[in-house]
Amino acid sequence: MKLFSILMLLVLSSAFASKDSKSYKVAISSSPSNLSPFFSTDANSQNINRLVHLSLVDFDLQMKPVCRLCTSYEEIRKGANYSIKFKLRKDIKFWDGAKVSAKDILASWKYFTETKKIKSIFRFAFGNIKEVKILGDHEVELVYKSYGLDHLPNLVLMKIIKVPLYDKVEKVVLKHIVGAGEYKYGLNDSLNVNLISLTKDLKDLNFVVVKDETTLSLKILNGEVDLSLANISPRKISYLEKNGNVSIQKVSGTNYNYIGLNHKKEIFKDKNFRRGLSLLIPREKIIKYKFKENATISTGLFSKPFKELYSNKYNDDFNPKLAEELFTKAGMKKVKGKWIDKTGKPIRLLWKCTNNKFILELVAIIKRSYESAGIEVDLVVQEWGTFLRGLKRGEYDLFVGKWVGFTGPDMLKFAFHSKNIPPKGANRGYYVNSELDLLLDRAETKNDRDERNAIYRDAIDVVNNDYAYINLWHPSVIWVMNKCLKVEGMYPNGNMLALRNIKNVCRSR
């Protein structure tokens, strides 16, 4: 037994020794769907492309737009006219050594909007740009057809690239694209993506897909994976945290989990009922025991990292007594422990849910709480495609939703404005509030960012106070790594640009 312990100690010591390898192996949960910047729609594809290609702007740790390829930018708005002027960095080169200039911004825009050889999925967004004016070698102005709150954030997706063989090939594929980022693609397949560093300060990154969390945990523990960005259940995170050879880094996340309500249904037209349902959710216990403290209670769409938009005014503690009072105010009665509506019918809610195991566990807890209070719930579990189709058609009373990847207040209009009810937009709760519509429309008329955000904060108050959604939580961004590694400046949206900031803290030992 003593010999076995010594051998295990030697194995772990070897696995976690500070080694000066030329690359880091990084685990992800799923294969990037398409590595071409013209078609990268999933999170892993977009994040890997952030490392390979440069865009004019990106977002900082407080979810504010910041320059990447530029030194500064200026939004210009005069009446109905809108443009963004950029001063470009002069030190950026493409992989072939050519310097990036204003002409390359124009060329990239043409690649992203052309309809012959590429037909990018993003061509419609960038089709809003009616002209790219070259004002100098390193100064350019993007002139839009009209103002849109999402125009600046969307530029994160327009990578500045070259396609030298564009006129010679029938179809543009990944190997034809020349970028200007700090990495370029090496060999890759469905389970591995290799990024080759183009600077001596950065190591190569080898992304490996590991879908099973038990397998992933073992790979982390025995040193086969240096760092994991993959989805790991809170239970496994808690287990790994107890292992002294593993480092866990966390940051408050921007992803937003909520319960969607079908506002077309008569029962949800009374805010007292909507609020009562919120008060029956034991959020603190769920976060403590299910998330293992790896989430924060949500007080609205925007979490704390959104410094300009975060509000903590609406935080519903678990309060069944107050919920009963609100149900009574809504005209409901409790008969033999069950709530009945104004017509005398027992209240039964249809809850649609995907077949995700962890989500089902959370729904089961809330369902039990509702039923203990006298609200009957019929849970229907569906695969994602069927679930989404039913959502868009309003075939539900309740559902658990998640918004990911949003970067600013344009999400309010997308999710809550009455003009964005499906099939046009994502107001899948069929929520209509004229006060909110007026605020969202008025905000878009303001040139001053501070003035605009003040109106958006008022709009956020309307959404929260009216229980357009029932707020749940914001899961933390969690990266698990070799104990010798440290990542400085993790992003709340999981942005992989933080991988440029990996430090080996064991080298000096």
Tell me the pLDDT of the chain (509 aa) as tens digits.
443 333 333 344 444 434 457 899 999 999 999 999 999 999 999 999 999 999 999 999 999 999 999 999 999 998 889 999 999 999 999 999 999 999 999 999 999 999 989 999 999 989 999 999 999 999 999 999 999 888 999 999 999 999 999 999 999 999 999 999 999 999 888 889 999 999 999 999 999 999 999 999 999 999 999 999 998 999 899 889 888 789 999 999 999 999 999 999 999 999 999 999 999 999 999 999 999 999 999 999 999 999 999 988 888 999 999 999 999 999 999 999 999 998 999 999 999 999 988 999 999 999 999 999 999 999 999 998 999 899 989 999 999 999 988 888 999 999 999 999 988 889 999 999 999 999 999 999 888 889 999 999 999 999 999 999 999 999 999 999 999 999 999 999 999 999 999 999 886 54
Q: What are the CA-CA distances from residue 11 to residues 15, 223, 491 (Å)?
A: 6, 10, 33
pTM of the model: 0.88
Q: What pLDDT is attached to residue 99? A: 97
Segments in 166-291 forming alpha helices (H): 213-221, 234-241, 271-279, 283-289
Question: CB–CB of 36/173 below 8 Å?
Answer: yes
Distance CA 500, CA 498 (A): 5
Q: Take residue 31 and report the two structure tokens written for it.
A: 């294969």
Q: What pLDDT is attached to residue 313? A: 86
Domains in the chain (CATH in brackets) are 17-28+181-252+477-504 (3.40.190.10), 54-164 (3.90.76.10), 256-475 (3.10.105.10)
Q: What pLDDT is attached to residue 507? A: 67
Residues in the chain, total:
509
Distance CA 481, CA 226 (A): 6
Backbone torsions φ then ψ of 228, nearest 5 degrees: -120, 130
Question: CB–CB of 378/350 below 8 Å?
Answer: yes
- Beta partners for 207? 26, 193
Going by C-alpha positions, the residue among 484, 377, 476, 390 that lies closest to residue 428 is 390
- What residues contact residue 194 under an 8 Å CB cut-off, 6+ apart? 185, 186, 187, 188, 204, 205, 206, 207
Amino acid identity for residue 33 in this structure: S
Segments in 53-205 forming alpha helices (H): 102-113, 123-126, 151-154
Going by C-alpha positions, the residue among 359, 352, 356 that lies closest to residue 381 is 352
Q: Give exposure, 425-446, as e/b (b: 16+ Cβ within 10 Å).
A: ebbbbbbbbeebbebbeebeee
Neighbours of 3 (CB within 10 A): 7
Q: What pLDDT is attached to residue 214? A: 92
Question: CB–CB of 363/382 below 8 Å?
Answer: no
Distance CA 21, CA 250 (A): 25
Quickly tell me which residue has 């949800």 as its tokens: 268
Question: Angle formed by the axes of helices 434-443 and 449-465, to 10°?
Answer: 170
